[in-house]
Amino acid sequence: MRLALQSLTTLLTITLLAFSAAAPALAEKLVSAVSSSRVAITSNFTGTQILVYGEIARDAETVSRTGNQDVVVVVEGPLERVTTWRKDRIVGLWINATSQTYIAVPSFYAVHATDDLRNIASEDWLKQYRIGLENLPLAALGTRAPATERKAFKEAFLRDRVQHGLYSQMSKSINFLSPTLFSTTVDLPATIPTGDYKVTTFLFSGGVLLDSQEQVLTVAKIGFEQVTFNLSRQYPAVYGALAIILALFTGWIAGVIFKKD
């Protein structure tokens, strides 16, 4: 008992020292990268995959840890404002009746890990770093609904996003190529929103966060899709006029081709 206490104190001292003095030099460091920093949406875009890989770098003097080392990769899309509706039966018709609005939820969210999340770190850690679907901060805007109802809405929202392939959580989906090299592929479905994505890699050991790294992934329409979309947003009048001219032209051409007399 005494011995155990003593060793714990020693360990604590070492850890404290490590964090205060020369933290990076002593602890494991994480080096990670994304296969491409840009996803281009073109006319034949039907979704894609990105590869997130990296290495847990150890200094020569670092004592190799006995505890498990866990890597978590989180891909988060640009934040958006979302309303979840629930239909209720009103005078015999199923109508959108109650709603909850979440501000600033990720439009895309994927978490890959080497193990079940609850084996990797405590809920407090996971909540703090927004790791895991249940740990996303989904606070409804100005609602006084009871907790059970809020939970039902939250579950429905997550279910919808998972069904559409926009949210995913996969444990044991990161492969170790060697004791220090890891990689995982994240599916990006065809319906992903455009914008800047955050790819964060976390290194946990024994429930403690050792290091994390962040990369930016840009999802953007290019070429014709980009021109069309930008035109429709920046010059909607021109876009509308073009649509009309295109329609008139098609109709006219058809009239000329199929003219009988």
Partner 1 sequence: MQIYLPIAELPINVFMIFAMGGTVGFLSGLFGIGGGFLLTPLLIFSGIPPAVSVATVTTQIVASSASGVLSYWRKAGIDFKLAGVLLCSGVIGSALGVWIFGILQRLGQLDLVISLAYVTFLGTIGVLMLGESMKAIMRRKSGKEPAGRRPGQHNWVHGLPFKVRFRRSKLYVSVIPIFGIGSSIGFLGSVLGIGGGFMMVPALIYLLRVPANIVIGTSLLQILATMAVATFLHAINTQSVDIVLALTLMIGGVIGAQFGAQVGQGMRGEHLRLGLGLLVLLVGLRFAFNLVVEPEDLYSVSVIEEPVK
Q: Are 201 and 32 in contact (CB under 8 A)?
A: yes
Give residue 25's identity as a one-letter amino acid code: A
Token pair for 184: 């995982």
Interface with partner 1 (CB under 8 A), residue total: 61
Cα–Cα dist 201/70, whole Å: 10
Residue from the set 24, 159, 176, 208 that interacts with partner 1 by CB under 8 A: 159
C-beta of 119 vs 250, nearer to partner 1:
250
Spell out, one character per residue from 27 to 46, where the chain touches partner 1: x when CB under 8 A holds, - when not: --------------xxxxxx
Q: Is 148 in the site for partner 1 (CB under 8 A)?
A: no
109, 157, 182, 204: which one binds partner 1 (CB under 8 A)? 157
Instruction: Name which of residues 199 to 258 contact partner 1 (CB under 8 A).
Output: 221, 224-226, 228-229, 232-233, 236-237, 239-244, 246-248, 250-252, 254-255, 258
Rounded to 5°, the CA angle 71-61-59 comes to 45
Q: How many CB atoms lie within 10 A of CB 75?
A: 24
End-to-end CA distance of the chain: 105
Q: Give buried/exposed letters for 134-162 (b at 16+ CB in 10 A, else e).
A: ebbebebeeeeeeeeebeebbeebbeebe
Binder to partner 1 among 191, 196, 216, 218 (CB under 8 A)? Answer: 191
If binding is defined by CB under 8 A, does position 161 make contact with partner 1?
A: yes
Residues that bind partner 1 (CB under 8 A): 41-47, 80-89, 92-96, 99, 101, 107, 153, 156-157, 159-161, 190-191, 193-194, 221, 224-226, 228-229, 232-233, 236-237, 239-244, 246-248, 250-252, 254-255, 258-259
